Amino acid sequence: MNMKDLADQLGLSVSTVSKAINGRFDINEQTRERVREAAERANFSPDPAGRRLRLKSSDTIGFVLSAPQAHFAHPFFLDMLSGIEEELADTPFQVIIASARSVERELECFKRLVDKLRVDALVFGRTRRDDPRISYLLKRKIPFVAFGRSETPGLFPSLDIDHTVVGRDGCARFIALGHRRIALANTPGYLMLSHHHKLGYESALRAATIEPQPELYVEGEITEEGGARAAHQLLDLPCPPTAIVCGHDLMAIGVMRAISERGLVPGQDVGVIGGDNHPVGRLISPALTTFSAETHAAGRRMVQMLLSHLNGTPAEQLQEIWAPELIVRSSDGPKRSASAVQYRRQP
């Protein structure tokens, strides 16, 4: 039996049967289920190669790991990929995972996926304020969903965690605990999330009539070592911070290590707050106060948005921002008394 035979048997058009078989969303659910049940009874399976040729489709979606990426087994990527795979389970699409070796060569990775592997669409994250990847995809009219916003001209589907909340609420918590010398160990400045961290951090300081101090703002790599280097720079100040908000949990772990190396106690001498609920954060001592990051749910939602966009929904209707929640543990420390003595920089 071919598709025309199946369509004749059901009294439907070939195009309607094709849409139902291929998981399109522009027909009603009742018709889609009726076609699927009939195809199952008739043991009908469309020729995937022929379908791809007709539709000029590869049935593949590229999932690009953000560079630089030292190892794949990062919970952020694993959780997001798990959500993506779950949501694609009942569609004809499969996922191709790709990664660039450096930030500078990441655009080459996108071009390879589009020009050589001919993926139907892309999903990626860690957007930049000025993002050449987004410009390229918009120019080529390649469908995509980005995990993050950008100042790059053009409309595109996106899902973002509101990192302004991380900077603002993390800083505001330290202010409520009695801190006044509060630092931000931020992720690299070219990232959009870093811009939002800083905006939130500075807004919380000004709301408490504390003028932001340039020496209390440091950027570093999204690694434990990057956090440690940032912390050592801050702790070397003549008047070091008593609290540090971190743009990422891996950086926060490095910050806590650096504090301990100075003979100080994280959560007592210096408070620390992370940014994205890395699983190891609850296992270290003191357990890391941080913010939620629903990456598995985000992966599923981005697939839903992408399928909707492939079926004609305009990009401006597919832009969402999720607010993270503060997860209070121990690393932010107890409330400081008004008479708390500033510790001296260690030799």
Specify the DSSP element, H or E, that contains 17.
helix 14-21
Tens of pLDDT, residue by residue over 268-288, are 999 999 999 999 999 999 999
Task: Give 91-119 pLDDT, tens digit per residue.
Answer: 889 999 998 878 888 999 999 999 888 89
Note the pLDDT of residue 48: 47
CATH code matching the domain that covers 60-160+295-321, chosen among 3.90.930.12, 3.40.50.1100, 1.10.287.130, 3.40.50.2300: 3.40.50.2300
Give me the pLDDT at residue 53, please.
Answer: 35
CA distance 13 to 4: 8
Under a CB-based contact definition with an 8 Å cutoff, are residues 292 and 323 in contact? no
pLDDT digits (tens, 9 = 90+) for 221-274: 999 999 999 999 999 999 999 999 999 999 999 999 999 999 999 999 999 999
60-160+295-321 matches 163-292 in fold: yes
| Half-sphere exposure of residue 40: CA atoms within 13 angstroms, side-chain side | 7
CB 332 within 8 A of CB 273: yes
- So where are the chain's domains? 1-32, 60-160+295-321, 163-292
Mean pLDDT across 156-167: 98
Domain 163-292 fold? Rossmann fold (3.40.50)
Give CA separation, 312 vs 21, 28, 53, 315, in Å.
Answer: 18, 16, 21, 9
Distance between the two ends of the chain, CA-based, in angstroms?
82
DSSP-based three-state secondary structure for 1: coil
pTM for the full predicted model:
0.81
**Spatial separation of the C-alpha atoms in residues 31 and 15, rounded to whole Å:** 12
66: confidence class by pLDDT, cuts 50, 70, 90: confident
